[in-house]
A and B are shown apart, each in its own frame.
Chain A
Amino acid sequence: MSNLAVATGRVWRVAGPVVVARGLAGVRLANLVRVGEAGLPGEVIKLSGDEATIQVYEETTGIRAGEPVVDTGVPLQVELGPGLLGQIFDGTQRPLTVLAAEGDDPYGNPLIRRGVEVPALDRERIWAFSPSVAVGDRVLEGATLGTVAESVAIEHRILVPPGLGGTVTRVHRGDATVTEPVVWIDDDPVSMLQRWPVRQARPFARLLPPATPLVTGQRVIDVLFPVALGGAATIPGGFGTGKTVLETSLAKWAHVDVVVYVGCGERGNELTEVLEEFPELVDPRTGASLMSRTILIANTSNMPVAAREASIYTGITLAEYYRDQGYHVALMADSTSRWGEALREVSGRLEEMPAEEGYPAYLSTRLAEFYERAGAVQCLDGEREGSVTVVGAVSPAGGDFSEPITQNSLRLAGTFWALDTSLARRRHFPSINWTRSYTLYDLTGWFVEETAPDWEEHRDWALDLLQRESSLLEIVQLLGVDSLAPAQRALLVTGRMLRESFLQQSAFDEIDAYCPLDKQLAMLRVIHRADTAMVAAVERGVAPERLGVLPVLAGVGRMRSWLPDSVDELATDLANRIEKEIEAL
């Protein structure tokens, strides 16, 4: 990896993913080292006298005391450049597709072997570089040197690396591999391949206020609890509440340019599903395959635990890199709990003093370092704007939200989507609980501007009605529905329509999986008009029980399968029929 090797030590102690080496003179904290004869990558996490404690990113089985440990002289870093999109990497950015194709096995090697070193970016691949600077131009850090068509939708911008700047002295045009120089700044060659340490946030000019929503096509999110571009959302939920389905729905349909999906300590089959499904799906906004805007980082639950800890930083560094090119990026981390547990495991092996539930006391600091890398920014060159939105799933033990990872995430994220086990058991999906969830981003202005002025009115009405319904349902549980006044019983009819026909959304239905904003609004209008008509009818003395069984209301349940282009007529027609039938009672 590097010929800057400055010191060689010897393995002294091995316990799980933690190795202690002696004799690594001058090694720096956070440096990448190669452990043992197999050359396993590891990171120095503690120095004490002559002893360097190393977390090893691969299985340590078989390592003996006395094996060599070599310092590489650089911290753990990722490779940046064209060719990242559409790829799947492990936690330390080894390309899994390349690993799978290696070996003399007729089907490649399906198992991940240890100590295999493969560069993240393809060194052979030729890219057509078209420069946007000329000899003699003065360039500053973050400026665009040229572009490469990385995918149909994404023009990859090669930037002046942070900290560099000067006069362009030579320019290459046309075919080049990532390692070949394309622009010379003050006679220093700059190639398309750049490196960045994963634990360091990439610089930008300034933070922008979050004012634009991340449109997701999920009704409960867009209408009730939207997250801002550059914001952060947390999704805690017990097992089986649909965290992963929700994360993949967002990865599929969110209005962003690039998606970085970090499968952190989760199931191998889920990543396989993404790998098989995404290339088949088309991004409705660009017409390109969804896979061509996606980068996958995979550390499945049986892959080495220390690499799990690194995977989240690898992911966010790649996200920041595309942000710096002026793109909107969404980072899905599923699940941050597994990352926290990796931290706990390593901390336990270091025999550190545990804080809450065995997690180290620095858990909240580390989580903050991750979440705070989200943001909408003005890029270094002062011209482009980009954003990284973080959506972190949390898997609380026993589904209990009082545990440390959930609580710390809540302090850091602006949007809270509380997944609810009892909703999930009733197969109400997405199982986002509307009384517990919240969003701190005020994005109503944008929606009013982009859709219609009545967006705000309907949203406020729906939020209010759902809150009132939930307190009424508590009374019904104790005293029965007869204890309610007629108007309250009518409210239950509307509440049920809202829950079953609006909030519920099938991630597996071809039409319903993605609901455009104008369809969301149309559906909401129908339910609101039906409610107004029912309230009027009850005031006239109509029994609420007669309202709930009106056959025309079955049409509300079928709104989800409306095709997007005919929504307005269908909605007006349905609402008219509902009003007519209710008036006829």
Chain B
Amino acid sequence: MTRTLYTVEHRTVSDVSGLLLAAEHTQGVGYGDLVDVVAPNGSTRRGQVLEISGDRIIVQVLGGTRGLDTPSTVVLARAESATMPVGPDLVGRVLDGLGRPIDGGPPLLPVAYRDVNGQPINPVARAHPAEFIETGVSAIDGLNTLVRGQKLPIFSGAGLPGLELATHVAEKARVRGTDEDFVVVFAAIGATAREAAFVRSRFIESDALDRTVLFLNLAGDPTAERLLTPRSALTAAEYLAYDDGRHVLVILVDITSYCEALREVAAAREEVPGRRGYPGYMYTDLASLFERAGRIHGRSGSVTQLPILTMPDDDITHPIPDLAGYITEGQIVLSRDLDRRGVWPPIDVLPSLSRLMNAGIGEGRTRGDHRQIADQLYAFVARARELRGLVSIVGEAALTEADRRTLAFGDAFEVSFVGQGVERRTLEQTLDLAWSLLDGFPDEELSRVTPEMLGRFRSRAAEPD
């Protein structure tokens, strides 16, 4: 951890525009280093070196460039990479995007300084995530199971309750068989005042603060700081998980604001734009955040991520959800249709997916019938969705008896299985409810369930003759 060794003062700023500043005749500045930029009025803001070209550097000014000039602005280079102080006393604090306390509390007593960019985890050192997290939400536990060390984003839309669902999960999540609480590291990236107020009321003003670290970068804060906010949060999370042995749940909201900031910086640097103006390296950049979820052999803690992103115009093929979906281990997709109908949480199970579900469920972890009942529900929900489309064209009259049964199942599934409200369900309650929704179907139609599981779990009394 190299800390400040020496400081070189450069009063050689040649260009200032938007988020960027260029300085000439610099020496000893490293790529990615943090620098201090001192404005003519004496105020200091931080900057990060984005490019070095001989003795010229390009600095992204984190505090914004307003008020800077070329003759008297000073760039202080300290050969310091972007690090952040970490320690157990992070828990319970409110910090800004760079990890500086903003809650009026005492200064942090860091035990180490960590590079906010982290380092890639060697795949050999990773332990495959397999411990089921009971969120209490049927659509997640039953069909898109979350496990410790997974990264499972919530694909929300403008006006949909992505943030509410994530905080709900953060409050209710338990690892089965333990009372262990998660430490919640919450990073608000470009959050609006309304969202910030919601987060404060849920975490700070309740008794949850003693297991929460809150990083706040508000929509009105400098754009460039948004790029460091999730990195600071993940650095804190990694410390708490791998050094302090805690199970950490990281909530990043909103990844869309993060990507907008990334695009803004890329445009300011006049880079060749990729799809919809986002930089070509957005996949790699997002991966450098999401891949910081996981478990490590020999370390007791874990980092689980629940990032939230807003799909622009509810379009799942937009570059932001698209690239995120390629990196994360599944996604929970919210549906405007369900939300309008008052179903909460409005999770559309068909496009939702948990890639690590198989590792976390089954005999000994959840229940032997979990995989099969989930597959069976999916088959019927997909069929019901098709039939609903058909009915809107040709009317109910064209349906067979079996079709009507499936259609009725589809409605009941949405209302009672998905639309559970704020009630917390155990996994058994979720799976038993699933079986009871299948009561109307004869055994032959349950093609995804083996006779053995039918025998063990089907509620015989409810079966038709």
Interface pair A298/B280, CB less than 8 Å apart: no
Contact for A358 among B129, B280, B290, CB less than 8 A: B280
Interface pair B124/A275, CB less than 8 Å apart: yes
A contact residues around B297 at 8 Å (CB)? 107, 110
A5 contacts chain B at the CB level, 8 A cutoff: no
In the complex, what distance in Å separates the CA atom of A62 from the CA atom of B350?
45
Interface residues of A in 1-47 (CB under 8 A from B): 11-16
Interface pair B126/A269, CB less than 8 Å apart: yes
Contact pattern, B 393-409, Cβ under 8 Å of A = 1, otherwise 0? 11000101010000000
Interface pair B122/A109, CB less than 8 Å apart: yes
Interface pair A111/B271, CB less than 8 Å apart: no
A65 contacts chain B at the CB level, 8 A cutoff: yes
B190 contacts chain A at the CB level, 8 A cutoff: no
In the complex, what distance in Å separates the CA atom of A404 from the CA atom of B123?
30
Given the contacts A13-B53, A100-B122, A427-B375, A301 and B30 also touching, CB distance less than 8 Å = no
In the complex, what distance in Å separates the CA atom of A240 from the CA atom of B273?
26
B287 contacts chain A at the CB level, 8 A cutoff: yes
B363 contacts chain A at the CB level, 8 A cutoff: no
Closest-CB distance, A559 to chain B (whole angstroms): 11
Contact for A64 among B28, B378, B447, CB less than 8 A: B28
Interface pair B128/A273, CB less than 8 Å apart: yes
A354 contacts chain B at the CB level, 8 A cutoff: yes
B322 contacts chain A at the CB level, 8 A cutoff: yes
Given the contacts A267-B329, A301-B291, A395-B326, A111 and B124 also touching, CB distance less than 8 Å = no
Interface residues of A in 447-482 (CB under 8 A from B): 476-482
Interface pair B274/A357, CB less than 8 Å apart: yes
A300 contacts chain B at the CB level, 8 A cutoff: yes
A290 contacts chain B at the CB level, 8 A cutoff: no
Contact pattern, A 424-465, Cβ under 8 Å of B = 1, otherwise 0? 011100000000000000000000000000000000000000
B390 contacts chain A at the CB level, 8 A cutoff: yes
B contact residues around A287 at 8 Å (CB)? none
> Which A-chain residue is minimally distant from B269 (CB atoms)?
A15
A397 contacts chain B at the CB level, 8 A cutoff: yes
A contact residues around B319 at 8 Å (CB)? 397-398
B32 contacts chain A at the CB level, 8 A cutoff: yes
Interface pair B291/A267, CB less than 8 Å apart: yes
B42 contacts chain A at the CB level, 8 A cutoff: no
Interface pair B30/A61, CB less than 8 Å apart: yes
Interface residues of A in 110-128 (CB under 8 A from B): 110-113
B298 contacts chain A at the CB level, 8 A cutoff: yes
A545 contacts chain B at the CB level, 8 A cutoff: yes
Interface pair B325/A239, CB less than 8 Å apart: yes
Interface pair B296/A354, CB less than 8 Å apart: no
A60, A66, A345, A500 pick with most chain B CB within 10 angstroms = A345
**A-B Cβ contacts below 8 A, count:** 222
Closest-CB distance, A38 to chain B (whole angstroms): 11
Q: Which of B16-24, B213-221, B353-361, B430-438 contacts A (4 or more CB under 8 A)?
A: B353-361
Interface pair B291/A268, CB less than 8 Å apart: yes
Interface pair B280/A341, CB less than 8 Å apart: yes
In the complex, what distance in Å separates the CA atom of A100 from the CA atom of B119?
13
A536 contacts chain B at the CB level, 8 A cutoff: no
Interface residues of B in 368-390 (CB under 8 A from A): 371, 375, 378-379, 382, 389-390
In the complex, what distance in Å separates the CA atom of A153 from the CA atom of B27?
58
Contact pattern, A 364-404, Cβ under 8 Å of B = 1, otherwise 0? 00000000000000000000000000000001011110000
B contact residues around A14 at 8 Å (CB)? 31, 51-52
B12 contacts chain A at the CB level, 8 A cutoff: no
A305 contacts chain B at the CB level, 8 A cutoff: yes
B240 contacts chain A at the CB level, 8 A cutoff: no
A contact residues around B393 at 8 Å (CB)? 477-478, 480
A63 contacts chain B at the CB level, 8 A cutoff: yes
Main DSSP-derived SS at the A contact region: mixed
Contact for B281 among A345, A357, A395, A427, CB less than 8 A: A345
A271 contacts chain B at the CB level, 8 A cutoff: yes
In the complex, what distance in Å separates the CA atom of A299 from the CA atom of B396?
53
Interface pair B379/A426, CB less than 8 Å apart: yes
Closest-CB distance, A40 to chain B (whole angstroms): 11
In the complex, what distance in Å separates the CA atom of A395 from the CA atom of B331?
16
Interface pair A97/B371, CB less than 8 Å apart: no
In the complex, what distance in Å separates the CA atom of A66 from the CA atom of B378?
60
B212 contacts chain A at the CB level, 8 A cutoff: no
Interface pair B55/A268, CB less than 8 Å apart: no
B contact residues around A545 at 8 Å (CB)? 400
B207 contacts chain A at the CB level, 8 A cutoff: no
Closest-CB distance, B79 to chain A (whole angstroms): 8
A contact residues around B394 at 8 Å (CB)? 479-480
Interface pair A96/B32, CB less than 8 Å apart: no
A contact residues around B382 at 8 Å (CB)? 425-427
> Which B-chain residue is minimally distant from A557 (CB atoms)?
B447
Contact pattern, B 50-81, Cβ under 8 Å of A = 1, otherwise 0? 11111100000000000000000000000001
Given the contacts A272-B126, A273-B359, A397 and B322 also touching, CB distance less than 8 Å = yes
> Which B-chain residue is minimally distant from A423 (CB atoms)?
B382
Contact pattern, B 278-308, Cβ under 8 Å of A = 1, otherwise 0? 0111011001101110101111000000000
B contact residues around A272 at 8 Å (CB)? 123-124, 126-128
Interface pair A108/B125, CB less than 8 Å apart: yes
Closest-CB distance, B39 to chain A (whole angstroms): 25
A contact residues around B423 at 8 Å (CB)? none
In the complex, what distance in Å separates the CA atom of A99 from the CA atom of B119?
14
Interface residues of A in 228-242 (CB under 8 A from B): 238-240
Closest-CB distance, B153 to chain A (whole angstroms): 11
Contact for B283 among A65, A107, A301, A508, CB less than 8 A: A301
B450 contacts chain A at the CB level, 8 A cutoff: yes
Contact for A302 among B30, B54, B287, B389, CB less than 8 A: B287
> Which A-chain residue is minimally distant from B395 (CB atoms)?
A480
> Which B-chain residue is minimally distant from A508 (CB atoms)?
B358
B136 contacts chain A at the CB level, 8 A cutoff: no
Given the contacts A358-B280, A397-B319, A480-B398, A111 and B120 also touching, CB distance less than 8 Å = yes
B32, B121, B275, B329 pick with most chain A CB within 10 angstroms = B121
In the complex, what distance in Å separates the CA atom of A351 from the CA atom of B279?
13
A220 contacts chain B at the CB level, 8 A cutoff: no
Interface pair A62/B33, CB less than 8 Å apart: yes
B351, B353, B375 pick with most chain A CB within 10 angstroms = B353
A contact residues around B271 at 8 Å (CB)? 348
Interface pair B325/A397, CB less than 8 Å apart: no
Interface pair B291/A399, CB less than 8 Å apart: no
A584 contacts chain B at the CB level, 8 A cutoff: no
Closest-CB distance, A205 to chain B (whole angstroms): 37
B157 contacts chain A at the CB level, 8 A cutoff: no
Contact for B119 among A65, A88, A113, A500, CB less than 8 A: A113
In the complex, what distance in Å separates the CA atom of A300 from the CA atom of B127?
15
In the complex, what distance in Å separates the CA atom of A217 from the CA atom of B428?
36
Closest-CB distance, A335 to chain B (whole angstroms): 8
Interface residues of A in 54-71 (CB under 8 A from B): 59-66
Given the contacts A63-B31, A267-B291, A395-B326, A88 and B124 also touching, CB distance less than 8 Å = yes
B contact residues around A561 at 8 Å (CB)? 450
Interface pair A338/B291, CB less than 8 Å apart: no
Closest-CB distance, A495 to chain B (whole angstroms): 14
Leading 10 A-B pairs by shortest Cβ distance: A301-B287, A107-B298, A398-B317, A110-B125, A239-B325, A61-B32, A480-B394, A302-B291, A480-B398, A426-B382
Q: What are some 5 contacts across the A-B interface (CB < 8 A)? A: A62-B31, A109-B122, A273-B128, A341-B283, A477-B393
Query: Given A240-B351, A303-B120, A479-B394, 18 more contacts at CB 8 Å?
Result: A65-B55, A110-B121, A110-B122, A110-B126, A110-B297, A110-B299, A112-B122, A272-B128, A301-B283, A305-B284, A341-B284, A342-B284, A345-B281, A345-B284, A358-B275, A398-B322, A477-B389, A500-B447
Residues on B close to A: CB < 8 A? 27-33, 50-55, 81, 115, 117-129, 149-150, 242, 271-275, 279-281, 283-284, 287-288, 290-292, 294, 296-299, 317-319, 322-323, 325-327, 329-331, 350-351, 353, 355-356, 358-359, 371, 375, 378-379, 382, 389-390, 393-394, 398, 400, 402, 443-444, 447, 450
